[in-house]
Every structure is written in C-alpha cells, then in structure tokens.
Amino acid sequence: MSILDTQSSTLPIQLEHGLFLDPKKAREFGEKLSGQYCFAEPYPHIVLDNFLPNQLAENILQNFPSEVLRGDKFFESDYYGLHKRQIFPVNCNDYIRNLFNFLNSSSVLQFLESLTQIKGLIPDPHFDGGGFHETSRGGKLGIHADFRINKQLHLNRRLNMIIYLNKDWEEDYGGCLEIWDKSMKNKIHSILPVFNKCVIFNTDATSYHGHPDPLNTPENITRKSIALYYYTASKSVYDETSDHSTMYVSRPGDNINIRKQVIKTKAREYLKDWLPPIFFRKLRQLKKSLPSKQIVAPE
C-alpha cells in the first residue's frame, strides 16, 4: 500500500490577537470538504496537509513538553500501546491550555459539524485518552477501533481529530497511521505523520486504525501528535428527561399579565408531555390557523 496523497487546506484561524476562528468561515471551510469526507472509504475521513497556520503549528511544537510532567500517563503494553506517553493539557503551560480550549471551542465544532454532517458535537473537557501523544523508538499502537462511550460524561464518541507535529520525518522512521477496511483484510491507506498534517475520521465500531509496526527513529526523535475526541449525547436521554422548552416562572408580586403568560407557557409544555405527538401537532396547526392579535411596539 502506497503512502496516501493528501491536499493542502489551512483552517482560517487568525493569530493577530490570540486564536480566533470566524464561525461563518469555519462552516464554509467544512462545507467545502464535506463531500470528500463523507464519501471516503472505508469509513468517513479526510487527511489535510498544512492544516493549521504555519506559525501556530511552530508555536505548538515549541511548547510541546520535553520533560515528563506530573500526571503524564504511560503505555507499555506492547500491541495495546508501547513506549507511548499521554500528556494532559491541564498540566501544560498557559499557551497549550489556551490552545486546547480553542480546539474545543464553538467555532472549531462548527467546522467539524459542517465537515462531517454530525450535528450536536460536544468536546471532552477532561481529554479522556486525548491531549498530546508522544511515542519513542520501538513504540507502536496496534490496529483498533476506539472506545465508543465516555463513561465519565455518558456521551457517545463520534469523531477523532489528530494533528501531527513531526518535522523532518522520514518514511524510513515508520509510524504511518494505517486505515483498514471493516473486514480487516485490506489496508486502505497509510498516512505519514508529518508536521502539520491533520487526520479526521468517524469513530465507529469498525473504524480500524493504528500504527502497529515499531518506530525506527533515532533515540532523540519521537512521534508527536495532538489527539482530540468529540461526542454527541444519546437520543435515549429523551426517555429519561422531558423535552420541554425554556420553562419560565413568575415571582411573588409579579402582576397578573406576567402570571398569565407563565401559566400559558406551563400549560403548553405539560400538553406536549402528556398528549400524543400527533394530537399536539394538530393543536399547534389549529392555533396557527386562527387570527392572532398584532402587537405594535410603542413609539
């Protein structure tokens, strides 16, 4: 399997006054790439070169912790992760903490939602399994499909985003991210983890990936990356929680008009809870068909 060809496409982040991503531009950027993402084989994914503005990528690499930090997690389980370090953003400096807050921000979520067509994405503030990853010589990570449920947040994992931070990476070093089909008979892609390359893919039961061959790097070179995971809430939450709109309440001493409005709102929400959906929809249609009073704002 040959190394996957990728395209250059930079997320339109502004760096003049900290990190800023215009929500409209974020959505447009994702929409432009959405077809390529959604119809990729063997599962939805995309690979982008020069993903971050170059100065931002350089700054991240300069702030990547070279020393072992308190709270780092180490993996020495052979195929399940060997010679690998996970670094939590909370233990890093202010620059890195701000970076990860940005990567969990609304604007980045809007880019990801428009790219993947997965609505209602939620970031993980605890970075369970995420943050910085660093693997040293001889290290590897077997082919796997990721965990699907965040047990701490009770959310469904839907999406992975990996950004590589490896300058002057040579093909002989290995460490390619392998993407396999669901039968685990065919390796579809092999992605070299070079500097500022981003890989985004759906987290499904058969989204098999990993870098299972030992790294062949010099002792002083490690495989570095940012790993971010995004989630959605289960629709089954509606079985446990009433799906009502904002519920307003009146204060003691509020006038009769306010109390009437509150009672009207509560009555509508209770009807929605107790009436079969078809009856509630018919009631709303009937209400819309009746003439309404026109409210004129005072001049």
pLDDT tens, position by position, 225-261? 999 999 999 766 444 445 555 555 566 776 888 678 7
CA nearest neighbour of 155 among 238, 69, 265, 235: 235
CATH 1.10.10.10 matches 7-237? no
**pLDDT for residue 271:** 66
**pLDDT for residue 251:** 63
Backbone angles phi, psi at 133, to 5 degrees: -120, 140
Mean pLDDT by 10 residues, the chain (299 residues): 60 92 97 96 96 97 96 90 96 97 98 97 96 97 90 93 97 96 92 98 93 95 98 68 54 76 72 65 67 41
Spans of all domains in the chain: 7-237, 242-287
Cα–Cα distances (Å) from 138 to 66, 84, 135, in that order, read: 18, 10, 8
pTM for this predicted structure? 0.81
For β-strands 13-14 and 20-21, DSSP reports them as antiparallel
The DSSP bridge partners found for residue 180 are 187
**pLDDT for residue 288:** 64
- Distance (Å, whole) CA 201 – CA 204: 9
Task: Write out the H or E segment, with its range, that includes residue 96.
Answer: helix 94-103
pLDDT digits (tens, 9 = 90+) for 117-135: 999 999 999 999 999 999 9
CA 38 to chain centre: 15
Q: Is 262 buried (19+), middle (13-18) or exposed (0-12) by CB count in 10 A?
A: middle
- Distance (Å, whole) CA 130 – CA 111: 19
